[in-house]
Amino acid sequence: MSARITARDLFDALGERLQLRWLASTAAGERALDGDEHTARRPSLAGYLNIIYPNKVQILGTEELAWLDALDAAQRWVTLQKIVNFGPLALVISKDQPCPSDLLAVAEEARIPLWVSPRRGHDLLTLFQYHLAGALAPRVTLHGVFMEVYSIGVLITGESGAGKSELALELITRGHRLVADDAPEFTQITPDVLDGTCPEILRDLIEVRGLGILNIREMFGHTAVKRNKYLRLIVHLSRYSGEVATDAGMSRLLGDTSSRRVLDMDVPTITLPVAPGRNLAVLLEAAARLHILRSKGIDPAHAFIARHTQHLKQGE
């Protein structure tokens, strides 16, 4: 799913923190930047004024304005036309510096939002870059229940009716926290980090067959829910068929483990068979603990195989 942000969204998100004031083209707030647009281009999302590789948010500090002032009239006009013709999302002047009248005029004519802030250029650059990178990062919505279990983000998946919500409710009563039910959204904020959040309309809610919609925050308190969490493990619930697989010997030792591709990242996946009498809450807690051990380089199954191999060598 491609993300998108408008100049108005950006101003509303950072305007108060950066003390932004809108100088020109206040009606151009719907000017937008798509997530796919910046990935194939060299310019940064935000940066100081650059005529060769123009940034999407062009920041004009003391040096940039002084450079414009040093140009003769003809060069200055051509340069200003180049700046607006590149179609930046916004132009921002730092340190509350006076805005040149010709820059104000060309921005108004080209419908380019022009802002001014008392903050330093470095502060503007850092916050604009961070916010735009997060807002335009690749994202996807997955079906399942996203939980925080033993401080790691666990996505519970499975077919409809497999018992995902009931398992999540049991985990909440055991002290774990709900992030999102049914449709958690995941954003790849770095090459190896997927940040999971809940859509606003579903926040704090979980649907359980027979009970309907439950508000977890109101029922269990504020500590029972969490706004976001990094995805580290997927636990898939599958109906137990009773058939014995040909590789059941190794799967009994190593577990039913694999990985699932989410955006550009492979997420470790453990499959738990669902059968009458199985305590899935205990099994999922054990799966989370096992994942934590494996992430530290400790694998009980491989340790047992090595111990068994050593025992056979000693017997020979």
Residues 6+ apart with CB under 8 A from 2: 34, 35, 36
Nearest to 229 by CA among 269, 264, 194: 194
Question: Which residue in this structure is represented by tokens 């604009």?
Answer: 128
Query: Count of CB atoms within 10 A of residue 113's CB?
Result: 26
Relative orientation angle of helices 280-295 and 164-173, to the nearest 10 degrees: 80
Q: For residues 183 and 140, is the Cβ–Cβ distance under 8 A? A: no
Which residues lie across from 46 on neighbouring strands? 57
Catalytic member of 209, 222, 227, 252:
252
The helix or strand, by DSSP H or E, that contains position 280, with its residue range, turns out to be helix 280-295
Query: Count of CB atoms within 10 A of residue 95's CB?
Result: 15
Catalytic member of 56, 139, 182, 236:
182
Nearest to 187 by CA among 230, 131, 245: 230
Provide the sign of the torsion angle of the four alpha carbons 19, 25, 27, 29, taken in this order. Answer: negative
Question: Which residue in this structure is represented by tokens 């995941």?
Answer: 186
Q: Does the annotation count 252 as an active-site position? A: yes
Catalytic member of 56, 119, 164, 176:
164
Residues 6+ apart with CB under 8 A from 316: none
- Cα 29 versus chain centre, distance: 25
Burial of 263 (0-12, 13-18, 19+ CB in 10 A): middle
Catalytic member of 17, 41, 82, 143:
143
Q: Does the annotation count 229 as an active-site position? A: no
Amino acid letter, residue 194? L
Active-site positions? 143, 164, 182, 252
